[in-house]
Every structure is written in C-alpha cells, then in structure tokens.
Structure 1
Amino acid sequence: MIYSHKSPALLIIGILMLLWGWMNNAGTLDGMQGWLHPGAYKEHKQAIDKHAADTQAAAEKAAAEGQPAPEAKPMKPSKFDGTKAGQAQLAYILGGLFAAVGVLVLVLPKKEGHLDYYAGVVPGMAFIVGIACAVRWILDPMFANWGKAAQPTLGWDFAKIMNLNYVVLGIVLGMIIVNLLRIPAWAANGVRTARLFLKTGVVLLGTLYSAAELAQLGALSVVMIGIFVLGSVWLVLLAGPRMGASNSMTGVLSSGVGVCGVSAAVAASPVVNAKAVDIAFTLGTILLWGVLCMFTFPTIGQLLGMGPVQFGAWAGTGILNSAQVAGAALAFDPQGIETLKVAEIFNITRVLFLPIIVVWLAAWYVKREAGAQKVDLGKVLVAKFPVFVLGFLFMFLLSTLGMFAPPGHYQGKYFSSEQVKEDKLLKEKEIAALQAHLPKLTKPEETKALQDLIANRKLTSREQDHVLKGVSKAAKDDKAVKDAVGAANKAAWHDSKIIRAFRDWIAWLFAIGLTGLGMQITVASIKQAGGKPLIIGSVVGIIKAVGSLIVVLLFVKEFV
C-alpha cells in the first residue's frame, strides 16, 4: 500500500517555520511579540532603558575624571529575549527537519515499504505540529491577554476560568478545521498519530509528582480527597455501562470528574483508548460544571456562614476542575489568603491521586474490553496493560526518589532555605520596611514569623512562608512590605531545571496530540455520542458537591 502523496505541503510548512524563526531572531516580530507578552516586553524595555542610563552615567563619570569611556557591558538576556529565542530555536529545528523531508517526499519515487510509510505520515504530523505552534505561540497568550483586559468589566478572568488555554483552543481549532475546511489528503495519515504524542506526554507527566508531597498535606485533606476522588471515579464507572456509555467514554469521564478536571481527563484518555469525541464531551461537561460551581459555591458558603477553612476544604474537594477552585476561593474571600491556601492544599492532594487512578483505569479497561467470558485478570493485565502507563509509573517512582528534584517537590518546585544565595538575602531597605510593619501585627505567630525573617534575612521553613503570605496579603497598601516578603519567598523556592524542561515538553506533546484529536471530532460523531456524558457527569458532580459539603459541615472545624 502506498501512503505518501507527491505534495509540496511539507516543504512549505518547513519554510514557514524557518521564516518564523528568522523573523524572531531579526526582531521583525517584536511588535507582535510585545503585544502577546506585554509583561515581559515592559520589563525588557525597562531593562534597555536602565542599561542605557547606566552606560551613559559611567561614560559621564569617566569624562569628569579625565578617563576614557569604559567599554559598555552587554545586557543580560531578558525574559522577552528568552521567549523569542525559544521560539526561534524550535522553529529552526522543526522547520529544517520538515523542509528536508519535504524535499525527499518530492524527489523519491513512490514505492511500498517503511520509507514510503514514514513519508506519508510526516506531512500530517507537521500539519498538527504547525497548528499546535500557532495555538501555543499566538492564540494561547492572545486569549490570556483578552481575559485580563476584560476582568475589570466582567469581574473575572474569562480565559482563565473557562480554561481557554492551549489545551481547549487546540481541540476547538482542530474541530473547526475538520468540520469546516476538511483534512487534506496528504495530512490524513499523520493526523492519526495524535495518540502517540499524548501517550509520550503521559509518560513524562510522572516526573511532576512525588509521593513525599502527600506527607506535607495533612491527614484531613488526604482522607477527604481519597474518599471523594475514589468514590466519584467508582460512581462513574458504575453508572457509565448501565447508561450505555462506551468503556472509553466512561473511563475518561471518571478521571475528569473524579480527580482534577481537564488535566486528569487528558492524562487518562490514552489509558482507555478514548476517542476524540469522548474527550470533547468530557471537557465540555467539566468546564460547564466548573464555571457553574465557581459562581454558586461562594454564595452557598456565605449563606451557610462557612469560615475560610471550611469553604476552602469544600471548594478544593467539590469543584470538578482545578482552574475554578482558585476562582471560587477568591470570590468567597477576596481580601484574605486563608481560604485560597486551604482550597489549594485540597486541590493539590487530589492531583496527587492521579497515578492511582491511571493504574485503576488501566486495569478496569483491560478487564472490560476482555469481554463477557471469564478471564484470568492477571494474565490479561500482563498481556494488555498499556506499556506507557508503566513508563508513567517508572517516572513517578524516579521523581519520588528525588532523581529530578528533592523528594518533597511538587511539579518541580521545592523549598530550600539552605540554597538561598548571598545576593538573594533581604537588603537593609527591605529589612527596615519589615521592622516598621512589625508593630502593626496582632497575631503571635505572624509576629514571630516576621521577626525570624528580619533576623535571618531569609525564610527558614514552609510554615513560616505560609504565615507571611497572609501578612503580605493583609498589607495590601504597603508595597514595600509586600515586595520584601515576595522577594524572600522567591529566593527560598527553587525550580528544578530538569523538571522545567519536562514541563515544557509535556505542554508541547499535549498541545500537538490534542490538536490532532480535535481534527477527529466531527459533527456526526458528536450527534452519535448524545448527552450521556453530561447526564452522568452532572449526577456525580451533584453527589460530590453535596456529599463533600455535608462532610465539611460535620467534621471540618475552623482551625487547622
């Protein structure tokens, strides 16, 4: 069978990628990049102005002393420079590869074999990679800017709350392409490789979690989240087959509803061989309920007279999607940080249950797909268990053992007072601002935490960091105090370079894979799926929200 097509499309994609890289390096796209990344661009311009002022001051000083002007020091690359350089580097690599293969596709004769198969697959892969680049480099920051711009009018960031990031945008753009424009014949074979990118992303996802982090979260959050995560997954797995939903639809919906929403659904999708339409319906259900809960939870919490700890525990447990947890916590208590802190503790706990759910779903799916006849589950698991899930567990184990970052890390970030460099210790001006603020504190734990920070000029424990975040939040009109506490926090928290690289690759793999999956969601497949996911997700979502509310009111008191 011949897979390849004599089309210049791959060569054109490669040339366009190379052009994007060159234009970034040449500065031609600085105006557009500045609009897409306003914060980084503003810092970049300020750094340029400061560098110019320092250079001029040094020259004037030398002239006054009768000395020749010193040689100007080169500027350190800014975050804005790093963004452009990163895009240019990736564009050059991908563009060069696609252009070279594109030439071979046009030159080599069509002949059955492995070479022809790859020549037929690469153009489609390049097609979804190119779309994913447009989503991550242009659409993602563009919607983020629009969300922030509309926040003063709407009162909330619609892009953040509705998850209008590269995940959702990639799927939506893929759906638009397949339903309105159709997939070109030369790209059809490559588009079907989307699952390969997703599976690779799931393997690397294991590096972001560490079992040791559970020890930092407390027994209350672990027990509550364990009950409601496992219970929600079990309910969906129970209800799905009874309502005639497919095994793949049921599996991916259970992960999304039970664990942490969109990211859990994406991670579980290759485990249960979820179809593109399964993922689309699951994400739609999760986002619909997430936004609804974000608006209703704070109102219910106020009516019931819930305190910060109670509401934080409820929001972190009962809201389906992680993105809306923070929104609900801040809507309930916009002035304080206690509610948000508790909500995020519970939210992080349920995210750390993802490895357990992945293994559970893999075993459940293998058993369901084995058919109605009696089977030896052990043999079936050995024969059919997804290999990439073993890769995920292996990376999770390495992460837990501290191979990529200290064992207590969460997604590569870890606290270390010992690693605070000398030049990152608080300066005299910052110490003076904190000393002036000290008499304003009334709580003993806040006073002690601030006194220790002044004495050590750095944070010494995670508990101290948590307390001082509340102090900083309360000192909303004292910029000097907020800046000093923020500087100490930034100095004490470190980011593993290895896991930072993993995070970037995970984002790219999911962006490419989900864009390709979006191109497999047709209007006909949506009609065929019907409203079963929404019904199942809604029922389980209500049970989860009401059940967690009852447990919180009965057992969670207003103290930690």
Structure 2
Amino acid sequence: MTHLRRFGPGLLVAAALATVATLLGTVLPIVGGPVLALFGGVAVGVVGRRFVADTGPLGPGLTLTKQRFLAAAIVLLGLGMPVGSVLTVGRDTAVVLIGTLVAGAVAAVVVGRLLALDRESATLVAVGTTICGASAIAAATAVLKPDRHRVAYALATIFVFNVVAVLVYPPLGRLLGLSQEAFGLWAGTAINDTSSVLAAGVVFGPAAAHFAVIVKLVRSLMIVPLCVGLHLAKRRSAPDHAANTPLRQVFPLFVVLFLGASLIAGLGILPDSLTAPLARLSGWLIAAVLAAIGTGLTWQQLRTAGARPLLFGGILAVVLGTSSLALQLATGWW
C-alpha cells in the first residue's frame, strides 16, 4: 500500500496522458501519439509545477515511468520487426539504406561541430533523424541518460521535420516522377518516424506506403548497434568507471531482449493476432515515458537550448533526403 500511495498518482497521470495522446494520434497520424504525449506532459508541468517536481506528490511515479517503461517499450518494438521477413528488402535496398545512414552520420559529426552543439543534444537529434525518430531517441536516452530538456527538444525537432516531410515529400515525389517503390524507398530512408513514413506513403499511393514501411522496418533495426555503440562510447569517455563496469553492461539488457524479440518475430513463434496489440502497447509505453519527461520541461530550458539543434535537425533532414535520391539514381531505383 505504501508503494501504491507513493508511485500511484504519478503513474496514473502518465498513463492518462499516454492514453489520450494515443487516441488523438490515430486522428492526427502526422503528429503521432508520442509527440502529443510530450506536449500534454509539458502542459501538466506548466499548470502544476510543484506537483510534478521530484519532491511533489506526482514526482516518484513520473520518475518510475521514465526509468521502467522505456526499456519495456524498446523490447516490444522488436516483436514488430521480424528479421526474416525483411531480409529480401534489406538486401535489395542495402546500398541506398546504408549509404543514407553513412551520409547522415558524417553530416551529424561535421555539422554538429560547426554549430558547436553539446554532445548529448547532437546525438539525440542525429539518431532521431537518421534512424527511427522518437523510438531511436528513446533508445539513446536509456543508454545516455541525458538531461530531460535535451530529450524534449530533440523530440520537438523531430516532430517539426516529420510534419514538413509529410507535406512536402508526396508532391515533390510526383514532380520528380518517382515510381511507387522509389518513393517508398525515399520515404523509408529519409523520413524520421514510422507514423510519418506511413502517412507520406499513403498520400503517394498504397504500394508506396507498403514498401516504405518495410524499408523503415529495416532501418529501425539499427537501434540495436546504435545502443551498443553509444554504450561503448560512454565507457570510453569515462575510463575511471570502466574498470568497475561489468562486461555484460557493454550489451545493455534491453538491447539483448530487443534483439531476441526481433528473432522471435522472425521465427513466427508469436501469433499474428498478438503482433498489432503489442505494437500498440509499445507505442503507448513510449507515449507514457514522453509524457513523464514533458512534465519536467520548462520554457526557460528550451530557450537556453536555442535554435541550433533545430537548424542541425533541418540540415540532417536535407542531407538524408538528397543522399537517398542520389543513391537511388546511381543504383537504378529512380
């Protein structure tokens, strides 16, 4: 009963915000439930700042949400990414997919240094733009444990360019004369979140939407090496603590479980009837985490971050879009 009284109020608030945001996200797929949950959390934090503080009545439950729900959401993502079913598409699109990721990574390093961004903000915006939007940011957050306002700013940046992509990509694709598959490959390799990839594909055509989602699925699998790489980089940046870090932490448990879930999905062990509900549960958990993060965000924190992360995200979005088209032209997709 003591734990229920301590954690219950904050958990209920995060759950309520996630539920409302998820329902609204089905009506506004361009925005998506996770981003709506973030904004809902911000609104709650503005109205009841002292209630959501760490020492307030909602604080413990919100903190627990951020600590525990995130790993569970990332593992459930793996159940929607069957390895075997995407091998063919991954093989056929490997040059464009890998080339786009490399171009994005190089641009992230160069542009991040030119803009003198702090490492955490640059990393969060970069992984969100190049890999899988909010899901990649959530995974990176679990490893890096950055400041809350940097996570929120990165998510807001991703949201801005998700909306721009959904509005701009379909008419631009028609202007360029892209086929259904070529547009699907473009959207799957250059647009951030899966919801926005799907929205842009649906506007362009049903075949484009189907192909775009599969390509995005392959791209999302990069979450696994991303988390391992970030963890290794974190150990190198803190050598004094590396000797005391168990070897198993080089491969965080949630990453290992994510990979196992992806293999299970590929083996067909999971009944098809459970795939969609588990995917929705994963999205709901991510929304709850972002709602909890949003409650701690203040306008002063965003103002301190400045416009550079937004400019950084915009440059990366342009690099991904143009490099994907260039690689498609070079490989005969376009």
Deviation at 1:554, TM superposition (A): 2.8
Aligned to 1:395: 257
Question: Aligned equivalents of 1:521 and 1:186: distance in 2?
Answer: 17
1:228 maps to which of 94, 97, 100: 100
Deviation at 1:538, TM superposition (A): 0.8
Q: Does 1:366 align with 2:142?
A: no
Question: Aligned equivalents of 1:273 and 1:384: distance in 2?
Answer: 18
Q: Does 1:170 align with 2:52?
A: no
Residues 228/124 of structure 1: CA separation in 2 closer, same or farther (3 Å cut): farther
| SS of match in other structure, 2:50 | coil
Aligned-residue sequence identity (percent) comes to: 21
Paired residue type of 2:10? I
Ranges in structure 2 where 5+ consecutive residues have no aligned partner: none
Q: Does 1:294 align with 2:166?
A: yes
Question: Aligned equivalents of 1:388 and 1:191: distance in 2?
Answer: 27
1:179 maps to which of 39, 46, 49: 46
For residues 147-546 of structure 1, what are the structure 2 equivalents within 5 Å? 147=27, 159-163=28-32, 165=33, 167-184=34-51, 185-201=56-72, 204-205=75-76, 207-208=78-79, 209-333=81-205, 337-367=206-236, 369-370=237-238, 380=242, 383=245, 387=249, 390-399=252-261, 401-402=263-264, 405=265, 407=267, 494-495=272-273, 497=274, 503=279, 506-507=282-283, 509-546=285-322
- CA RMSD of the aligned region, Å? 3.1
Residues 366/230 of structure 1: CA separation in 2 closer, same or farther (3 Å cut): farther
Question: Aligned equivalents of 1:256 and 1:349: distance in 2?
Answer: 15
Deviation at 1:505, TM superposition (A): 5.6
Asked if the contact 1:212/1:400 (under 8 Å) is kept, the reply is no
Deviation at 1:544, TM superposition (A): 0.8
Paired residue type of 1:220? D
Asked if the contact 1:177/1:519 (under 8 Å) is kept, the reply is yes
Question: Aligned equivalents of 2:167 and 2:187: distance in 1?
Answer: 11
2:15 maps to which of 121, 130, 133: 133
Deviation at 1:543, TM superposition (A): 0.9
Asked if the contact 1:230/1:258 (under 8 Å) is kept, the reply is no
Residues 254/365 of structure 1: CA separation in 2 closer, same or farther (3 Å cut): farther
Residues 249/125 of structure 1: CA separation in 2 closer, same or farther (3 Å cut): farther
Aligned to 1:105: none
Asked if the contact 2:71/2:142 (under 8 Å) is kept, the reply is no
Asked if the contact 2:148/2:297 (under 8 Å) is kept, the reply is yes
Residues 277/349 of structure 1: CA separation in 2 closer, same or farther (3 Å cut): same
1:337-372, Cα deviation, whole Å (9 max, x unpaired):
3222322221111112211212122223333x42xx
Aligned to 2:331: 555
Question: Aligned equivalents of 2:194 and 2:311: distance in 1?
Answer: 21
Ranges in structure 1 where 5+ consecutive residues have no aligned partner: 1-99, 102-118, 148-158, 414-493
Structure having the higher Rg: 1
Question: Aligned equivalents of 1:340 and 1:548: distance in 2?
Answer: 17
Asked if the contact 1:317/1:548 (under 8 Å) is kept, the reply is yes
User: Which structure ranks higher in relative contact order (CA pairs < 8 Å, sequence separation ≥ 6)?
Assistant: 2
Taking structure 1 as the reference length, the TM-score comes to 0.53
Q: Between 236-245 and 320-329, report the one with greater CA deviation.
A: 236-245
Asked if the contact 2:158/2:192 (under 8 Å) is kept, the reply is yes
Deviation at 1:144, TM superposition (A): 4.9
Paired residue type of 2:228? V
Deviation at 1:397, TM superposition (A): 4.3
Deviation at 1:237, TM superposition (A): 4.1
Residues 366/291 of structure 1: CA separation in 2 closer, same or farther (3 Å cut): same
Residues 556/284 of structure 1: CA separation in 2 closer, same or farther (3 Å cut): farther
Question: Aligned equivalents of 1:199 and 1:218: distance in 2?
Answer: 27
| SS of match in other structure, 1:269 | helix
Residues 265/386 of structure 1: CA separation in 2 closer, same or farther (3 Å cut): farther
Asked if the contact 2:108/2:316 (under 8 Å) is kept, the reply is yes
Residues 384/523 of structure 1: CA separation in 2 closer, same or farther (3 Å cut): farther
How many corresponding residue pairs?
A: 329
Deviation at 1:259, TM superposition (A): 0.6
Question: Aligned equivalents of 1:280 and 1:544: distance in 2?
Answer: 22
| SS of match in other structure, 1:306 | coil
Residues 126/294 of structure 1: CA separation in 2 closer, same or farther (3 Å cut): same
Question: Aligned equivalents of 2:38 and 2:255: distance in 1?
Answer: 27
1:368-398, Cα deviation, whole Å (9 max, x unpaired):
x42xxxx59xx83872889495212321343
Question: Aligned equivalents of 2:207 and 2:183: distance in 1?
Answer: 10
